[in-house]
Structure 1
Amino acid sequence: MSNPPFGFGFPDPDKRRENEPSNSGGEQQPGSGADAFQQLGQMLSQLGQMLSQAGSSSGPVNYDLAKQIALQRLAGSGGSSMGFSAGDQSGDTAVRDAAHLAELWLDEATILPAGASTTVAWTARDWVDKTLPTWQRLCDPVAKQVSGAWMQALPEEAKQAAGPLLSMVGQMGGMAFGSQLGNALAELASEVLTSTEVGLPLGPATTSALLPANIEKFTEGLERPGSEVMVFLAAREAAHQRLFAHVPWLRQRLLATVEEFAHGITVDTSALEQLAGQVDPSNPASIEQAMSSGLLEPKTTPEQQAALNRLETLLALVEGWVDVVVAEAVGDRLPGADALRETLRRRRATGGPAEQTFATLVGLELRPRRMRAASALWKLVGDRHGMDKRDQLWSHPDLMPTAEDLDDPMEFADRLGRSGEAIDDLDPIAELERTRQAEEQAKSDEPGDQDDSGESGSKG
């Protein structure tokens, strides 16, 4: 992990100082007891005000604060001043027209039917609002483990002495995580092009979403017409939605693997003693310096590394399949398709906003090498065995290529040819439909709150 995960990053101290109230009450210097008590009172007053303004969110992450910060930053950054933007009729029309054309082309390139029942144009603010529930599922397990590690690290005497203050510490931790998440989401929302650019099903189920204002900014650096870029990105979004809608196990497997990684987070509590020696209670800056020293950065266990490898492989297989299917669907219909395809690959390879944000929040970096390898594997399988057999592999997780297969796609293609009869006997759409019906039947058998469980199940 090149970036510390959730809760181990700290805001820019310069930005923090900009938000601190100036001392208009005189040139009081620390030292006297009266001054110390006055400063303590001011600090507690500010803390209480901050906690009351941060919203009523409970839990390891203050999501009210995260949303507040993200929307405030986006409001201050402004938007696109030319062309169409989300919320305008021209933007909505352009997105719908591009999606309709993309779906027609994709019908010829995959056996998976259309997955989105609606296509919408989002603003950056819409993206924050609509994807926050999924970010909550991704971030909660990491934040819980980090918070739990801190509490376990405290000596028993300290826990007893702190008493009720521990709940305030928990609130402060939730605010710290919320602030980190809010700033990350604002940065990502200002640049992300579609709802699935991170490679995960972040938005509502069966909804394709494009961000026209961000796409316009992205197009400015390219020598291609805006309509061409829009159709290409709409095809990528629609291809993702076909997978997430018609491969029932995929959404759950992706999100559950992130949770599995988070459950293994531990902090080296022996580092606390070393940390304590670096802290000067009269100098708040020393606390931040000590915290950012890396002493308390969680260590990646072998089990976590295995979970990360599985997640990287699955994300690479998703992205590689989308890359190949979109290339085949678009074909020669868009003159700049090859250039756009390579531009998006480079956007990933250079650590675009999606990768950087995900690495900061979850501790995972997507490796472009895996993505290109997955694309090469899907292309080889399609060329040798046809589109049907390629897409039938998604009908069950046990049929999917592994990380080792990405290292040797030729051997996987040969093995697939030898075992192809078993796959040929499968009707993938029927298999997926049977899986879906079984899940719906299980939900209907549960007593009470059937609507809620159904909604939860549809979102992964």
Structure 2
Amino acid sequence: MLRSSASLIYRDRLKRELGRVAGDVLTGTEIGFNLLGSSDVVMIPSNVAAFTRDLDASDNDVVLYLLVREAARQRLFHNVGWLAPQLSALLGHFAREITIDFDALSENFRPENLTELSLEDVIAVGESVRGSFFQPASTDTQVEILERLEVLLALVEGWVSHVSSRATAPWMPNAPQLDEVIHRRRASASPVTSVFKELLGLDLHPRLLRDAKNLWAAVEHHRGPEGRDAVWGHPDLLPVRTDLADPLAFAAQGHEEAREDDLDAELRKLLGN
């Protein structure tokens, strides 16, 4: 009964969250995944109009800045062939490792009323355990997947923020203010930012996004735009969480040598290099 109830609760929460996201998302890949499977730059005009209503900025500037960010993210997904499949694989793997807190559910069901339990009662229980529905990541596999997914999503958003700021700086004097608006949106409890937390228990911290943006800026300073984008050439070349905490050290080092493992070292010996 608890398993059936958990399934009903999760389906109800999924419908609600997807409905909230549909009414809040501004562009096709804003949540960080290329769900459309194409490189088209997509914007939701009605949602953008609601977003710009109370902003102290020109609507045209906000729309243009959002389009630049969406185009940058689509460029990244299109040029880095492994990125979208990797994100989907990590998301799927992480979702398979999620466990439901049945103790929290059972505490809210009264045994004497189980025979009279209705769908509305199950949904009400789901709302009462909204904050404790999922058990925290506890296994080594869960922790590893969670960290890799968080870092990869942060790197994507950090890269998009960096290249968007670089592209708009010469032409849009208020680009820094618009970037701060986007950052505040991601730091707020909006449906787009809370969907992973609500459905997967994954919380992407704003500090991690700022660290990622700073890292890409540091890499470009040391290696140039080509060297910056070359980091996306292979998953093993990407920064890890410790690199985000010290972006200057990562940017200053040769990323090939920094990511060389034992197999690469042995191959280098065999090749006489």
TM-score (norm 2): 0.82
Distance 2:211 2:171 in 1: 25
Is contact 1:275–1:290 with CA below 8 Å preserved after alignment?
yes
Alignment partner of 1:300 out of 137, 141, 163: 137
Look up the match of 1:349.
Answer: 187
Aligned mates of 2:106, 2:199 — CA distance in 1: 27
Is the CA contact (8 Å cut-off) linking 1:374 and 1:406 kept in structure 2? yes
Supply the distance in 2 between the matched residues of 1:391 and 1:403 (Cα, whole angstroms).
Answer: 19
Deviation at 1:386, TM superposition (A): 0.7
**Partner residue, 1:199:** 32
Residue 430 (structure 1) aligns with: none
CA contact (8 A) 1:198 1:355 kept: yes
Q: How far did 1:290 drift?
A: 5.8
User: Matches of 2:191 and 2:46 in 1, distance apart?
Assistant: 16
Once the 2 structures are TM-superposed, how far is the Cα of residue 280 of structure 1 from its aligned partner? 2.5
Q: For 1:222-253, what per-residue CA distance to the aligned partner results, in whole angstroms no more than 9, with x for missing partners?
A: 22222211111100000000111111110011
Q: Which string of whole-angstrom CA distances, capped at 9 and with x for unpartnered residues, describes residues 161-180 of structure 1?
A: xxxxxxxx5xx876654432
Deviates more, 1:233-242 or 1:331-340: 331-340
Name structure 2 gaps, 5 residues minimum: 261-273
C-alpha distance in 1 between matches for 2:102 and 2:108: 10
RMSD, aligned CA: 2.9
Matching residue's letter, 1:400: L
Q: Match of 1:301, as an amino acid?
A: S
Q: Describe how 1:31-50 pairs up with structure 2 within 5 A.
A: none
Cα deviations by residue, 1:149-206 (Å, 9 ceiling, x for unpaired) = 93xxxxxxxxxxxxxxxxxx5xx87665443222212211112110111111122321
Percent identical: 36
| DSSP-derived class of the 2:82 partner | helix
Question: What are the residue-to-residue correspondences of 1:128-147 with 2, within 5 Å?
Answer: none
Instruction: Give the partner amino acid of 1:368.
Output: P
Structure 1 unmatched ranges of 5 or more: 1-146, 151-168, 423-460
Within 5 Å, give how 1:385-396 maps onto structure 2. Answer: 385-396=223-234
The structure 2 residue matched to 1:339, chosen from 177, 186, 193, is 177
Residues 98 and 134 in structure 2, CA contact (< 8 A), matched pair in contact too: no
2:213 matched to which residue of 1?
375
Q: Which residue of 1 aligns with 2:245?
A: 407
Is 1:278–1:290's contact at 8 Å kept on the other side of the alignment? no
Rg larger in structure: 1
Whether 1:259 and 2:92 are equivalent positions in the alignment is: yes
Change (3 A) 1:295 1:191: closer
Question: Any residues of structure 2 matched to 1:174-323 within 5 Å, and which?
Answer: 176-267=9-100, 280-281=113-114, 284=117, 292-293=128-129, 297-302=134-139, 303-323=141-161
Report if the CA contact (8 A) 2:243-2:250 is conserved. Answer: yes
Aligned to 2:269: none
* Equivalent pair of 2:43/2:67 in contact (CA under 8 Å): yes
Contact 2:231 2:255 in 1 (8 A): no
Q: Quick one: distance in 2 between partners of 1:264 and 1:281?
A: 29
Q: What CA distance in whole angstroms lies between the structure 1 residues aligned with 2:216 and 2:134?
A: 38
Q: Give the equivalent residue in structure 1 for 2:264.
A: none
Cα separation, partners in 2 of 1:395 and 1:279, compared to 1, 3 Å: farther
Structure-2 change in CA distance of 1:418 and 1:290 (3 Å): closer
What is the distance in 2 between the residues matched to 1:296 and 1:317?
29
Does the aligned pair in 1 maintain the 2:162–2:216 contact within 8 Å? yes
For these two proteins, the number of residue pairs brought into alignment is 254
Contact 1:257 1:307 in 2 (8 A): yes
Q: Post-superposition shift, 1:266? A: 3.2
Contact 1:264/1:301, CA 8 A, preserved across alignment: no
The equivalent of 1:8 in structure 2 is none
The AA in structure 2 aligned to 1:187 is R
1:36 paired residue number: none
- Report the equivalent of 2:266: none
- What letter is aligned with 1:357? V
Partners of 1:374 and 1:342 in 2: CA distance: 15
Does the 8 A contact of 2:220 with 2:228 survive in 1?
yes
Q: Once the two structures are superposed, what CA deviation does each residue of 1:262-285 show, in whole Å capped at 9, x if it has no partner?
A: 222334667787666655336648
Contact 1:199 1:318 in 2 (8 A): yes
TM-score for both structures, normalised by structure 1 = 0.50
CA distance in 2, matches of 1:357, 1:322: 20
Does the CA contact (< 8 Å) of 1:349 and 1:368 recur in 2? yes
Counterpart residue identity of residue 87, structure 2: L
Distance in 1 between residues matched to 2:23 and 2:203, nearest whole Å: 20
Any idea what SS the aligned residue of 2:42 has? Answer: strand
Aligned AA for 1:261?
A: F
Q: CA deviation at 1:349?
A: 1.1
Q: Take 1:325 and 1:220, find their aligned partners in 2: how far apart are those partners? A: 26
- The whole-number CA distance in structure 1 between the counterparts of 2:20 and 2:161 is 25
